[in-house]
Structure 1
Amino acid sequence: MYFTNVYRNYKQALDVGAWLFIIGSACFLLDDLQDWFHYRIGILLTLKYGEKDNVDATINHIDKKQKTFFDRYRRIKINLNYLASILGSLLYLVGSVFFLPKFEDKEIVGDILFIVGAAVISLSEGCKIYRFACTSALDSNDTQFHVKNIRHNLQAIFISCFALFGGVFDFIGAILYLPHLNQTDFDENRATALFLCAGVSFTLAGLLLQYRYYYRSRK
């Protein structure tokens, strides 16, 4: 999963690259846990104080009381959405470990975990984007898809879009890295370029997440 002219010229390139994958995956897992944690805090604040104006309550349709079965079902779906992202990032982290040179004979395991993790993340982020488009800033009971709702959740949309792009890039790149599709230097560099694009996308998503929860909250 590295550019061929790099690891051939630098002995430690494979180790460094694998550790960067591990660190990046760990950071993305922490971001997903942070996102889920803020969602749970939003629920607690709303249930305890009725603060419906906080960011998490608005985006996640959190009402003070769960009046109907549909309300409970909606809450469960949101939880599963967040947990799916966490699962995908966890698969990334475990898969990254197998990219260390000492696990070279099990590298295919890491690649498969990356494929599954990328698929889970892509589906999860796609669901988030759809959910945001179904979230009305004017009527919390309106759960219909409206393109106009996107502008009310632009930060969340951008975070999920970048994460979605990262997942798609990794999904395609990991498939192209499978042994029967990775026969030449061009093949490996092509997959590596996609992993690089994924890394940039995930980094942007992570930075936007920090801005959303910390910088903006202090303004």
Structure 2
Amino acid sequence: MSYKDALKDDIPIEKDKSGFNWYYPPCRICNAPVPSWNYIHGTEYTCDECREVLVKLNYQKKCTSSIDTKEEKLKKAIKRISKVTDIRHYENAIIKVQYSFDKPMYYQSTEEIMVALELLRRGLVAYHQVQVFDFRVDFVIPQLKVALEIDGAPFHRKDRLSSQMLRDEIIANKLGNGYEVIHIPTDNVNLNITKLIPAIKAVLSRRKRVQSSSC
């Protein structure tokens, strides 16, 4: 079928050293011959060079779409923060967050952007979307020795409690050196992001007291 179709469509044919036919239909974009071991009438062929360009364009399109979505989330974050404090305190933080919009896994929610802005405003170094074994941690904050998770309401269901505790233990053990995993509900983030660091420190202090009393 390939041979007859190729002859009918005036497609160049060559035999290799093994006696197999190779067909050279034109690239659908640049018309350069595309080597193929078969030929099907009506099929569009793309050369390697044009395919590489298309892949890059598609990737750029996805990145642009992702950045646009993150810009919308940033606008929402700025609006929510502005309700509780002067947004001018976050000007440098906003620039830094925007600079990292092209990173694929970054800022999957408005609340994550709000947390990133607050951490930057406070001068804290934080690593976002950190891979720990099969898990991803929203923020790792070395100065506080905290793995911070920003969770929606469904995450705190009772049926997930045991798996959450196991996950947290694995993450804390992997990070080591006294790290604690702390979960902050998205509702609290949206209510008043300026209380984030005091809330984290309060949790750390409470856990330290509990550990001391149990010794």
Higher relative strand content: 2
Which entry has the higher C-alpha Rg, 1 or 2? 2
Q: TM-score, normalised by structure 1?
A: 0.29
| Structure having greater relative contact order (Cα 8 Å, sep ≥ 6) | 1
Structure whose residues are more often helix by fraction: 1
